[in-house]
Structures are given as C-alpha cells and as structure tokens.
Amino acid sequence: MKSPLEKFGRKYLSPSSINGFRNDPVGQCKKMFQGFKDESNLNLERGKVSEKVLGMLLEKKITLDQVDEITEKEFVANTIFQNCTEDERQKELEKMIGKGKAPGIIRNLFSAYQELAKDKPFKLQTRHTATLKDTSTPLLGFTDMETKDMVIDWKATSQIRQIEMDNRIQGGIYYKFTGKKMIFVKASKTKYDIQEMTREDIYYGLETAVHTIKIIENVCKTFDNLDDYYKLIYPAKKWDRSDKLEAEVKNQYRNYFGTEAYGGI
C-alpha cells in the first residue's frame, strides 16, 4: 500500500521523525516535507562527536590514550563557526573527555561496552526497515551497535534520566527491526547507566509509534497545502514557529482528528 506521505515526497519515517512530530508537529513537518534543517548546537555536536570517537575506539582505530586529542580536534572542527563562547565550548568538551576523577562521556560509554559486550562480535550502524501494524509508511533506522542477542543505543547526555517515551518509541521500533533485547547506555561526564527495555516499554513504545504514524498519515491525506495544517495547529498564533506544543494546542489537535493517544503524544 502506498504511503500518504508520498504526496509530499517522503517515503520513510524514522524513530527520530516520529519523536520529533510528537514534540513539535509543525517543525517536524517542515523538516520532513520542506527541507528545513535543525540548527546545530553544542548539545547536538557533543552527541555526534562522542559516538564517532566511541566508534573509532570500538573498531580499534584509536586507543584510549588518544581519546582526548581526537575528541578535541573533532569537536572544535564541528563547532568552530557556532555562536558560542570558548568557555561554553570547553565545558562541553570536558563533558566528553572528563576532568580530574570524572572519566568523561566517551570513556564511560566504552566502560559500558566492556561490561555488556566485551569480546563479542558486533556490527555498527546497521540499516533496518519495517512497517508497523495498521500503517502504510515504512520505517527506516540505523542501530548504533548490534551483537547476536542485543541492540545497544548510545546516549551522550548531561543528565542521565530513566527510560522515557522517546526511548520507548525508538527502542520499540528497533525491537521490531531485530527481535533482540534492547538496551540504552546513557553516559554523562561522571557515570553511566545501562537501561534495558521491558516488554511493557516495548509495547507502549510501539503503540505510541503506531498512533503517531497514523496521525502523520492522516495529515497527509487531509491537507493538500501544509500551510493550512500549520494554521490549524497554531490558530491566532505565529504558526511558523518551531517550539513544543502547548497543552491546549494538543487537545485541539486531538479533537479535530478524533484521536486518542497511547502513552501520551
């Protein structure tokens, strides 16, 4: 069955686009269908650089002794034109490489790998596709790391939180892709936490993903001009802004489409 998203030139959805739509439907539609891009920031670059350097460690392209030098080189190159102070850049760099007794995000992620999967064969950035029940839009995603029996997703963060709905959606979809145990490794400057998804997490993640995909498909079926959709979502407001939906806007949106959220949208 052809996806309604193809009306606007889109053939796939990803876990990140589903989560993006839950947080900001207008902003995500602009990215998916109109080529808008997220403005880079230090937080985004911290995640990108941490995962890149970790991958180099895992593939034995560098040693632990080289982590600080390589990380600084990559991070400075990625942020040299950003509107930030040198102090702000240095604080983010310290989160990744550590200082004093704090190991830093990258070494913490590597320690978690050694705890979970040391000496096990693994693959990095494996491409997967699947289509969820009652939807017609294929999903496309890349797992950070896979072993024979588990999927590991790395999270480089300032503050470690327990599994939230965006994790449930991502992890549920990765479980659908692979049928393997789903684990999030969340690392900060000082520590790491290994979080395995439960069957309940997977269930609610997939149910919420299905619900969100059906809304996106409904939007594409209902509107021929996305500007009309944006004006519906932000009535009497500057509708082209990109921020999180307020509670009353969520309710109006649900009333219009007659939807009920699984696990909250």
Contacts of 140 (CB under 8 A, 6+ apart): 12, 13, 14, 127, 128, 129
Cα 183–Cα 187–Cα 189 angle in degrees, nearest 5: 175
CA distances from 123 to 51, 117, 145, 151, 188 (A): 14, 11, 6, 10, 24
DSSP 99: B
Q: Is 36 inside any structural domain?
A: no
Q: Do 85 and 112 fall into the same domain?
A: no
Q: Do 86 and 197 fall into the same domain?
A: no
Helix (H, G, I), strand (E, B) or coil at 137: coil
Q: Do 91 and 106 fall into the same domain?
A: no
pLDDT along the chain (265 residues), means of 10: 92 96 89 87 92 97 97 93 89 95 97 95 97 96 97 96 95 98 98 97 94 92 89 58 48 53 39
Angle of helix 42-58 relative to helix 105-117, nearest 10 degrees, comes to: 40
* pLDDT for the residue 265: 39
Tokens of 225: 């001009």
* pLDDT for the residue 235: 57
Q: Do 74 and 116 fall into the same domain?
A: no
Q: Do 170 and 70 fall into the same domain?
A: no
pTM of the model: 0.86
* pLDDT for the residue 49: 96
* pLDDT for the residue 263: 38
* pLDDT for the residue 264: 40
Helix (H, G, I), strand (E, B) or coil at 123: strand
Q: Do 147 and 50 fall into the same domain?
A: no
* pLDDT for the residue 247: 53
* Per-residue exposure over 46-78, b if at least 16 CB sit within 10 Å of its own CB, e if not: bbebbbbbbbbbbeeebeeeebbebbbebbeeb
CA distances from 165 to 18, 22, 262 (A): 11, 10, 10
Q: Is 218 inside any structural domain?
A: yes
Q: Do 92 and 177 fall into the same domain?
A: no
Q: Do 135 and 234 fall into the same domain?
A: yes
Structural domain range at position 64: 42-97
CATH code assigned at 16: 3.90.320
Nearest by Cα to 165 from 206, 133, 119: 206
Q: Do 91 and 120 fall into the same domain?
A: no
Q: Is 6 inside any structural domain?
A: yes
Q: Is 35 inside any structural domain?
A: no
Q: Do 17 and 53 fall into the same domain?
A: no
Q: Do 179 and 231 fall into the same domain?
A: yes
Could you give the number of structural domains in the chain?
Answer: 2
Q: Do 188 and 252 fall into the same domain?
A: yes
What separation, in Å, do the N-terminal and C-terminal C-alpha atoms of the chain show?
A: 26
Contacts of 94 (CB under 8 A, 6+ apart): 104, 189
